[in-house]
Amino acid sequence: MCGIVGYVGTQQALPILIEGLRRLEYRGYDSAGIVLFEGNSLTAEKSAGKINKLEEILRGKTFNATEGIAHTRWATHGEPTDLNAHPHFDCKNKIALVHNGIIENYRALKVVLEKQGHKIGTDTDTEILVHLIEEYYEGNLTEAVRMALTQVEGTYGIAVISSYEPGKIIAARKGSPLVIGHGQGENFVASDVSAILAHTKRAVYLNEGEIVTVTADGYVITTIDKVHRTPHVEEISWTLDMIEKGGYNHFMLKEIHEQPSTLGNAIRGRLNFEEGIPRLNGLNLQYDQLRRIKRIIITACGTSWHSALIGEYMIEELAKIPVEVEYASEFRYRSPVIEEGTILFVISQSGETADTLAALREARRRGVTVLGICNMVGSSIARETDGGVYIHAGPEIGVASTKAFTSQIMVLALITVLLGRMRHLSVQQGMDLMHSLQAIPEKVDRILQKEAEIKKIAERYYKTNNFLYLGRGINFPVALEGALKLKEISYIHAEGYPAAEMKHGPIALIDKNLPVVVIALRDSVYDKVLSNIAEIKARNGQIIAIANEGDTEIAERVDHVIYIRLFPCNFLPIIWRY
């Protein structure tokens, strides 16, 4: 994903921008660029490849600039080349622009601009936008940006500087997040707070369709329709340590190890043992409103969709409310039937996923109450929902979601207990469930202590091309998530299946070269999972079982066992066994 950082103030802009780009590296990118306002003109450097390469190009050159914008690009339109890297310029090199998102109607705009005499040199959709700004420029950069944006279809988070109007960054957003960092005699623009956290903890999140003119002394926000907006400054609670690796080799490993504390954060202050009812005031729903819920739809993408499936199992089992889980990308484009009494939950770590946001808006247009389960405070999803619950997992920098997944499940478990208590669960059951949840962080810590043992298994199989993950019941979505993580991080093809479905096709793939991860916990379907294990072994498949501590029997049937006391997402067995 692309990243933007901009600075205007009194300090040298270059080191601030390079540091900002480094903090955005985790998002993935294939080229980087920077433009500074220096003397009377714009000076830019950009290159395909890593930020180190850009720094090499900049090494030895001296700059004296207190204003600039920078970008990390993830190519969508046009190859990742030096030329296609941002910033992009107008014909006279007077206006520079960086852009996150996609300009969908760029081809049509290009034809018109070329007829008007603009020379368009790159393959990007972005360059069109800077020429459009040039076309509208008549002495007011903010107005030219606004006019250009009225012509654009698609999504954007942009930052623009110009030698016509030094000391200003114009930024705007639609479908791609942007935040203003509020400093003292200096201000920042970024696509993500981590880019500016080293300099300020005061942030103003731009809303959809807003344009901001940022100077060293302040910022003025208007909508694309010229309505003035009063900025709302939020204090960021994150510290710099939270966005650094803290001695781990990479962020994903750090975040995996953070789970005992992030799971603790998800329940902190929320367990009301006296009444056996979790405190989730952010839902903004009174008990009678909770009792009137007839049906729940949960929508999300990727890993968050997997936690939604786990939520479905938990809520239907304990609160007896029908739940439907749908990919946000499907929900937004079809015409779902939403009956009276339905509420919709959206789950998103980032709070900015375009499909989830669009699904949320579609549901709200239909008059449905939409509640969020979100990590990023102040994100679009957090702001546009009627209420919700923050998971408080802290920044998830690793590209693959890990700690957010388990915290989402923890919050879904709290919601389950709350809904259950409004219906069938007794005070005692509510209390027991909350005690079970409170015990989870410590159990996760015990699992993490098995790192070396798990690593040995990984070393044995890392050259394999395919993997199968199997689980039944609530562990079926866990299997899906396991397979997704493996694909995403190790580039090994992996499939997640409900264990019983294996015989309806995938069994054909099983041989001695196919490792199968089987979640085989001592729950109500344990014996059935043992039958699946026998089927795999009959075809010489290699089995890595995840089983409950004390289950010595399973060790005789499989190749490797990872013993756990309880799985955090395996909530129902927790109830039976606590």
Among 571, 224, 193, smallest CA distance to 351 is for 193
Q: What is 352-417 written as a DSSP string? A: --HHHHHHHHHHHHTT-EEEEEESSTT-HHHHHSSEEEE-------SSS--HHHHHHHHHHHHHHH
Distance CA 122, CA 111 (A): 14
Q: Please state the closest distance from residue 391 (CB atom) to ligand F6R, in A.
A: 10
Contact in structure between 494 and 313 (CB atoms under 8 Å): no
Query: Which position among 213, 349, 406, 407 is part of the footprint of ligand F6R (CB under 6 A)?
Result: 349
Contact status: 350 vs ligand F6R (CB under 6 A): yes
**Using only C-alpha atoms, what is the Rg of the chain?**
26
Residue closer to ligand F6R by CB (options 106, 331) is 331
Distance CA 380, CA 353 (A): 9
Sheet of strand 210-214, all strands in order from the earlier edge strand to the far edge? 88-89, 95-100, 156-162, 169-174, 210-214, 219-223, 228-229
**C-alpha atoms less than 13 angstroms from C-alpha of 450 in its C-beta half-sphere:** 15
Contact status: 304 vs ligand F6R (CB under 6 A): yes
Distance CA 194, CA 202 (A): 12
Q: Please state the closest distance from residue 399 (CB atom) to ligand F6R, in A.
A: 7
Which one of 97-105, 164-172, 297-305, 444-452 is the stretch in contact with ligand F6R (CB under 6 A)? 297-305
Residue closer to ligand F6R by CB (options 331, 563) is 331
Residue closer to ligand F6R by CB (options 165, 258) is 258
Residue closer to ligand F6R by CB (options 301, 519) is 301
Residue closer to ligand F6R by CB (options 112, 354) is 354
Distance CA 575, CA 186 (A): 54
Residue closer to ligand F6R by CB (options 213, 349) is 349
Structure tokens at 75: 């190519």
Dihedral-angle region of residue 175 (phi above 0 means left; psi in -120 to 50 means alpha; beta otherwise): left
Q: Please state the closest distance from residue 402 (CB atom) to ligand F6R, in A.
A: 8
Contact status: 356 vs ligand F6R (CB under 6 A): yes
The residues near 429 (Cβ < 8 Å, ≥ 6 apart) are 276, 420
Contact in structure between 9 and 169 (CB atoms under 8 Å): no
Crossing angle of helices 126-136/106-115, nearest 10°?
A: 50
Q: Please state the closest distance from residue 469 (CB atom) to ligand F6R, in A.
A: 14
Q: Please state the closest distance from residue 52 (CB atom) to ligand F6R, in A.
A: 26
Which one of 48-56, 59-67, 296-304, 444-452 is the stretch in contact with ligand F6R (CB under 6 A)? 296-304
Residue closer to ligand F6R by CB (options 321, 486) is 486
Contact status: 303 vs ligand F6R (CB under 6 A): yes
Residue closer to ligand F6R by CB (options 265, 348) is 348
Contact status: 488 vs ligand F6R (CB under 6 A): yes
Site track for ligand F6R across 244-283, x = CB under 6 A: ----------------------------------------
Site track for ligand F6R across 375-404, x = CB under 6 A: -------------------------xx---
Q: Show contacts with ligand F6R in window 173-232 (CB under 6 A).
A: none
Contact in structure between 370 and 364 (CB atoms under 8 Å): yes
* Residues touching ligand F6R, count (CB under 6 A): 13
Q: Please state the closest distance from residue 121 (CB atom) to ligand F6R, in A.
A: 33
Contact in structure between 488 and 482 (CB atoms under 8 Å): no
Contact in structure between 289 and 431 (CB atoms under 8 Å): no
Residue closer to ligand F6R by CB (options 263, 374) is 374
Contact status: 353 vs ligand F6R (CB under 6 A): yes
Contact status: 569 vs ligand F6R (CB under 6 A): no
Contact in structure between 381 and 233 (CB atoms under 8 Å): no
* Contacts to ligand F6R by CB under 6 A: 301-304, 348-350, 353, 356, 400-401, 484, 488
